Structure 1
Amino acid sequence: MKKKKIVALFLLFTLNLGNAFAQTVPDQKETLKTTMLVNDYFMKKYADCTTPTYVGKLRSSNLWTRAVYYEGLMELHKIYPREDYYDYAYTWASFHKWSPRYGNTTRNADDQCCGQTYIDLYNICPSPEKIKNIKITMDMLVNTQQNDDWSWIDAIQMGMPILAKLGNTYKEQKYFNKMWDMYSYSRNKHGVNGLYNAKEGLWWRDKDFVPPYKEPNGANCYWSRGNGWVYAALVRVMNEIPANETHRQDYMNDFLAMSKALKKCQREDGFWNASLLDPSNFGGKETSGTSLFVYGMAWGINNGYLNRAEYLPIVVKAWNAMVKDAVHPNGFLGYVQGTGKEPKDGQPVTYDHAPDFEDYGIGCFILAGTEVYKLK
């Protein structure tokens, strides 16, 4: 009898623990509602998606900041396929003639980034003009021996998923091979011995930040959003490549190492600082990097690569913090660091201050929302 009571109590405890654990997952409807609120704020404010941006000078609206927004929009369209989402992306891509910024000969990943959305639109409704130009551009990379284009880690997110998407769309290994050649060059050769520090599981933004450069507290300088770009790129690549792709496990190993490192430096309030290891150097809430980390960790949980019990509390804490502290009632997104390449750039970062470009921060947040939405 005593043994039966113990077993019953254990089962009851396990059930209650499971229920309590399940309740930590953000409400799916509320997550979608918040994600749509932030997106709709952007679509209303920038109703004409063909209008050039103006920050100091006019820039074509297929620049990288806008392209990142459309990455988020296309993921939102996958979970909630509203016609106006598709039309907004299609109109933008068509206006730019389905071309990279500055044309088909650019080797700059920032100018290629828009191609991610072109390929997504092509895969919804294939027609040759949608994919022709971005394929020409990436074939140029594939057909040359140069591998050092991604000399800053942001470029990994801007360009690498395009190669993965083309490889998946055309079922051609050459895109996967080139992707690895370029990624591994950035990882292991740029700077002194590469921009990735395997000992700490984090990335220096570019050669200017490898040692002896240090943060004021003596730590290595790991910029939050820069690491977020790599983290998101790994997710977007692994979403495309087959399970038996030669370097899939290499990408997974880096993803897991980064996850472990990022877990250690989350702030108590759920956000991450702009400087991951030095909270004294322009410390405070920062939404763009936090969004990218939530996106990656939620994806890892959803696909069984990250331990749910270990990482779900991190994701939930970060998502709830952003929803509570960064999202305005009208959908404006606060605490987004402006453009730059290190913690001091794009300041101030506050609840009310708008960054120089709003689009990429919103894109990052939408990416996060789409993966949090999938949590069960």
Structure 2
Amino acid sequence: MTVMRSLAASLLPIAALTAGCTYSPSGQSGVQSASAQSSGQAEIKLVANQVADWQLANLDNLDTYIRFISRETPNPRGWVKGTFFLGLADYAEQTGQERYVNALAAIAQREEWRLGNRLYHADDHLVGQVYMRLARAGVASADLGPTRQTLDAILAEKPNTQMLHPDKKGDPGCSKRWCWSDALFMAPATWWDAHETFGDEAYADYAHAEFQVATELLFDPDVSLYYRDSRFFDRRGNDGEKLFWSRGNGWVYGGLVNILRTMSQDDARRDYYVSLFRKMSDRLIAIQAPNGMWRASLLASSATPPETSGTGFFVYGLAWGLNEGLLEGEQYASAVDAGWTALTENIDSEGRLGYVQQVGDRPEGVQPDDHQLYGTGAFLLAAGQILRLEQD
């Protein structure tokens, strides 16, 4: 299946560099000529490269372009930068661009290939996925010892805290376990990757058991979406809707994809994740907004500004599902097409992705010049799968 895309007027400074590229109308599918296919891939890569290059060049001057900087934002082993690093590593793998691998390897080497400082916290496990990708890419200096030591320390003393999220700010509560939706992107795929990398079944057993516990708590089977955490079970949005946060579900959806991409095809537990992925996919395409985005509060009925971080993860997952044959049908292709086009419309001429909701835990307002590294990471994950679609 081939999904055709076009770049919007907001990308004219970029599109002008590829004036010879031609596209079929957005939303159509069919057979491309080799030259049209090549042109499509070239323009997608041009845009994604500019986004990646701008972000790499602006890893340190965060206060010049980020409206809200959390204590984790500057941390090269934390979840904010870690999501960008993961997106870049994946994009480098999809496009064979060694310069991105080298840039990431230099950062990992500087950090001595360590995970974050908090032993149990899921956010501090994300960069392990980056390290294992770099090791598979043949980086000679790759050292997975620190990652394995952290995971082994957790297995030696597994957390058994309750899973209800405390209302009191600063209370560690359930943070030693995966009791919030974001955690399902940050940690499980690291554990599954460790299982495949080191051949130790204990890593997969732990990841699967903890993922199931989190899903039993947070997944609403009537809606096929995840609550951000237990505090939101009874909360409602401005339109009276159940409160399902776009990026919170984007974290889960992207996490499901990363688990499925890592685990063995013949693993008996695979069907569990495929079922969740398909249920979420069907709900997501049903609630996509007319502008191609997903609303910050997914079930809201009123018009809301575009939000690109959740949209990036949803496009990533839907495109991957099409590439793998787990999703079939024009409805999925059209959703990917509309979502990707909307994302590119929110990239400025320098390569900055806008309308990224700032660090938070619920649907909030977003502004055109809101940027965050995790939004860039989600975009690059999507770009890699869009390139794969263009190859078919």
TM-score (norm. length: structure 1): 0.85
Q: Give the secondary-structure state (helix, strand or coil) at the position aligned to 1:236.
A: helix
For residues 274 and 160 of structure 1, the distance between their equivalents in structure 2, rounded to whole angstroms, comes to: 24
SS of equivalent to 2:144: helix
Does the CA-based 8 Å contact 2:313-2:379 persist in structure 1?
A: yes
Contact 1:121 1:130 in 2 (8 A): no
Which of 38, 43, 47 aligns to 1:34? It is 47
Q: SS state of the match for residue 130, structure 1? A: coil
Amino acid paired to 2:104: A
- The correspondence for 2:241, drawn from 219, 244, 252, is 219
Counterparts of 1:162 and 1:287, CA distance in 2? 25
Residue 229 of structure 2: aligned partner: 206
Cα contact 2:105–2:139 (8 A) shared by 1 = no
1:129 and 1:68 map into 2 onto residues whose CA distance is 19
1:247-267 deviation per Cα after TM superposition (whole angstroms, max 9, x unaligned): 110111000000011111101
- Letter in structure 2 aligned against 1:207: S
CA apart distance, 1:20: 4.9
Q: Bigger CA drift: 55-64 or 268-277? A: 55-64
Aligned to 1:72: 87
Count of matched residue pairs: 341
Amino acid at match of 1:203: Y
2:218 corresponds to 1:187:
no
Corresponding residue for residue 343 of structure 2: 322
What's the counterpart of residue 300 of structure 1? Answer: 321
Q: Does 1:44 align with 2:57?
A: yes
1:23, distance to aligned residue in structure 2 (A): 6.8
Q: Does the C-alpha gap of structure 1 residues 172 and 48 become closer, same or farther in structure 2, counting only changes over 3 Å?
A: farther
The equivalent of 2:14 in structure 1 is: none
Tell me the equivalent position of 2:189: 161
**Residue deviations 1:32-85 (CA, integer Å, cap 9, x gap):** 111111111111223799xxx993658432211000001111111112222321
Distance 1:168 1:56, change over 3 A: closer
Aligned-residue CA RMSD (Å): 2.6
* Per-residue deviation, 1:335: 0.8
Cα deviation for residue 338 of structure 1 reads 0.5
State how far apart, in whole Å, the 2-side matches of 1:97 and 1:20 are. Answer: 48
Residue 290 of structure 2 corresponds to: 268
Q: Which moved more, 1:133-142 or 1:300-309?
A: 133-142
Counterpart in 1 of 2:16?
none
Is 1:331 the counterpart of 2:354? The answer is: no
Q: Is residue 281 of structure 2 the alignment partner of residue 259 of structure 1? A: yes
Q: For 1:37 and 1:139, locate their aligned partners in 2 and report how far apart those are by CA, in whole Å.
A: 39
User: For 1:21, what is the secondary structure of its paired residue?
Assistant: coil
1:363 aligned partner: 377
2:370 is matched with 354
- In structure 2, what is the Cα distance between the partners aligned to 1:182 and 1:283? 34
Q: Which runs of 5+ in 1 are unaligned?
A: 1-18, 189-193
Question: Structure 2 vs 1, CA of residues 235 and 57 (structure 1 numbering), >3 Å: closer, same or farther?
Answer: closer
The whole-number CA distance in structure 1 between the counterparts of 2:267 and 2:152 is: 20
- Return the alpha-carbon distance in structure 2 between the equivalents of residues 277 and 28 of structure 1: 34
What amino acid is the match of 2:58? Answer: K
Higher relative contact order at CA 8 Å, sep ≥6: structure 1 or structure 2? 2
Aligned-pair distance for 1:310?
Answer: 2.4
Amino acid at match of 2:283: A
In the aligned structure 2, how far is the partner of 1:124 from the partner of 1:20?
35
1:170 alignment partner in structure 2: 198
What corresponds to 2:133 in structure 1? 120
The amino acid of 1:22's aligned partner reads G
Secondary structure of residue in 2 paired with 1:275:
coil
In structure 2, do the counterparts of structure 1 residues 256 and 56 end up closer, same or farther at CA, with 3 Å as the change threshold?
closer
- Structure with higher Rg: it is 1
Residue in 2 that maps onto 1:13: none
How far is the alpha carbon of 1:278 from its aligned partner?
Answer: 1.1
Q: Percent identity?
A: 28
Tell me what 2:30 maps to: 22
